[in-house]
Amino acid sequence: MANKRSSGWLIKSILVVCVISFLGLSIAPLLGNAFQRSPAGSQADGQADLSNDEEKLLREQAKGFELVLQREPGNQTALRSLMDIRLQLGEIEAVIPHLEKFAELNQDNGDYSVLLAQVKQQTGDREGAAQTYRTLLEANPGNLKALQGLVALLLQENRPTAAVSLLQDTLKLAPEANEAKPGTIDESSVQLILGQVYTEQKRYDEAVSVYDEVQEKNAQDFRPVLAKAIVFKTEGRDDGVYEPLFEQAMALAPDQYKDQIQQMANATNAPDGGAAEAVESSTPVEVPAE
C-alpha cells in the first residue's frame, strides 16, 4: 500500500496539477510579479525585505497615484500601479477596493473578478470570496477559473457535498448553454474537476467513472488517463495497473507537458516524502483546456 504521506500528496496533486496546471488557472500574472512576491501574512511581514528608503519611496509613489485617481477614478494605469505598490508593501487588504474598481472597469475579463475573490479569501473574507465567485458564475457558468476557485473554497470549508452539487448543476446546464452558444461550458474540464473532488473525498470508484466518461468522449485527451493513474497509485494498486496509464498519458500529451508528467510518475514512486519534495521543487506549467 502507498504510504500515508505519498497518498496525501497524490490526492492533492490531481486538484493542483490536473486542474490548475492543465487548465491554465493561474492568474497571479495579472498583477505582475508583485502578487507572487506579496506575503500571505501581515503588513510587517511584507515590509521585511524593504529598506526604509525603499518603503518611503513606495509610499510617496502611492500618494501620487492616489492623487491621480482622485482626478481620474477610472485611470487603469494608476489603479494597477497602486495595487502593485500595496502588494509590495504587504498591504493586501488595501488592494481590495482598487481591485474591485478594476474588475468593474473590465467586466468582459472575468480574471480580475477571480483575482478579487482570491485576495478576499487570502485576507479571511471567505463569504466575500464565495459571493464574488458566484456572481461571476451567474454571468458565465462556464468560467473554469471561478468554478475551480469556488470548488476549492467549498472544500476548504469542508463542504464537499456543496462542491459536488455545484459541479453537477453546471454539467446539467451545459447542453442548453452550449446549444445557445457553443463552447460556453467545457463539459470535459468540469468533469475533471468533479473527478478530482471525488478523489479528494476518497470516492475513488466515482472518480474513475467520471474520468472514463471524459476519455470516452475524447480518446486523445491525456488528462483523464493521468488522473486515473494517480488515483490507482493513491489506492495502492500494483505497478502493473498504474504505470501503463502514466506511459499512455505521456504518449498522448503534447511534447511541452511530457517532462512534467514524467516527473509526476517518478515522484509517485519515490521514497517517503520524495513525491512532495519533487513537485514542490518544480515549476508548474500552464496548459490551456482542451
Mean pLDDT of the chain: 78
**pLDDT single digits (tens) 85-111:** 998 898 889 999 999 999 999 988 898
Give the global pTM: 0.75
Spatial neighbors of 169 by CB under 8 A, at least 6 apart, are none
pLDDT band at 224 (very low <50, low <70, confident <90, very high): very high
Domains of the chain: 1-26+146-290 (1.25.40), 39-139 (1.25.40.10)
Question: Among 202, 224, 201, which Cα is nearest to 214's?
Answer: 224
pLDDT band at 159 (very low <50, low <70, confident <90, very high): very high
**CB-based contact 43:91 (threshold 8 Å):** yes
Q: How far is CA 211 from CA 143, 181, 196, 219, 273, in A?
A: 20, 25, 9, 11, 27
Q: Given phi > 0 = left and psi -120 to 50 = alpha, else beta, which region is 225? A: alpha
Nearest to 222 by CA among 245, 194, 256, 199: 245
**Span 30-84, pLDDT tens digits:** 333 333 444 444 444 445 478 898 999 999 999 999 999 999 999 999 999 999 8
Give residue 131's pLDDT: 96
